[in-house]
Amino acid sequence: MKLYYSPGACSLSPHIALREAGLTFQAVAAPTKTHQLDDGTDYYTINPLGYVPLLELDDGTRLTEGPTIVQYIADQVPAKKLAPAYGTKERYQLMSWLTFIGTELHKGFSPLFNPATPEAYKTIAKDRLNSRLRWVNEQLEGKQYLMGDDFTVADGYLFTVTNWAPRVGVDLSALIHLNAYRTRVAARPAVQAAMKAEGLLS
């Protein structure tokens, strides 16, 4: 398998999932600013939408969209408990978390990275994002991870997007449960390995 990623982008989530799963894969840098691979290939020829992540399977099938990719990864190694089994209510709870993180948090951060976004709108976006993060903080009270005691692919995704907070002036300091959770996730060997591979840790 090949994972096309851009350092620190949302593709860190499937990168973490692959390392948690222990699957063999090749990480291919596809910087979102240049859209050019190290060998000179135009990334748009691989993903016409131009964004990451993209997972290319050994048979050439290409999967896009992070929440789908991480579920595919989890389902390759069910014993790792990175996702509950399909058909269980817990699987739908996982999908709810993945959807919430994607639509309410991930997309909530997006306008804050765009230099063309008016400051007045950035204020509105931050207020909405902060309200969602406060809710997540409440949900984490008394829990190790989003789904309870087991780390799942939703945790890798939440960790990834909340990493962006200091880069765009979103203050997480008052969210004590979220901060304790982030410390737990950051300490996992697979998370450390993925971040080092992307040059995010020395």
Which 3-state string (H, E, C) describes 78-92? HHHCCCCCCCCHHHH
- Average pLDDT for residues 181-194, to the nearest whole number? 98
Tell me what pLDDT residue 117 has. Answer: 97
Would you give the DSSP letter of residue 53? -
Residue 136 confidence (pLDDT) above 90 = yes
User: Looking at the DSSP assignment, which residues form a beta bridge with residue 64?
Assistant: 54
Torsion from C-alpha of 161, 94, 70, 180, nearest 10 degrees? 40
Residue with tokens 């979102």: 32
Distances (CA, A) of 183 to 7, 75, 84, 96, 159: 20, 26, 24, 23, 9
Interval 138-179: pLDDT, tens: 999 999 999 999 999 999 999 999 999 999 999 999 999 999
Q: Percent of the chain scored above 70 by pLDDT?
A: 100
What is the spatial distance between Cα 196 and Cα 202, in angstroms, rounded to a whole number? 6
Tell me what pLDDT residue 141 has. Answer: 98
Tell me what pLDDT residue 55 has. Answer: 98
Residue 135 confidence (pLDDT) above 80 = yes
Residue 132 confidence (pLDDT) above 80 = yes
- Average pLDDT for residues 122-134, to the nearest whole number? 97
Mean pLDDT over each residue of the chain, to the nearest integer: 97
Taking the complete model, does pTM exceed 0.85, yes or no?
yes
Tell me what pLDDT residue 176 has. Answer: 98
Torsion from C-alpha of 19, 181, 10, 73, nearest 10 degrees? 40
Tell me what pLDDT residue 154 has. Answer: 98
Q: Which domains does the chain have, with CATH numbers?
A: 2-81+190-197 (3.40.30.10), 89-188 (1.20.1050.10)
Interval 5-61: pLDDT, tens: 999 999 999 999 999 999 999 999 999 999 999 999 999 999 999 999 999 999 999
Tell me what pLDDT residue 202 has. Answer: 74
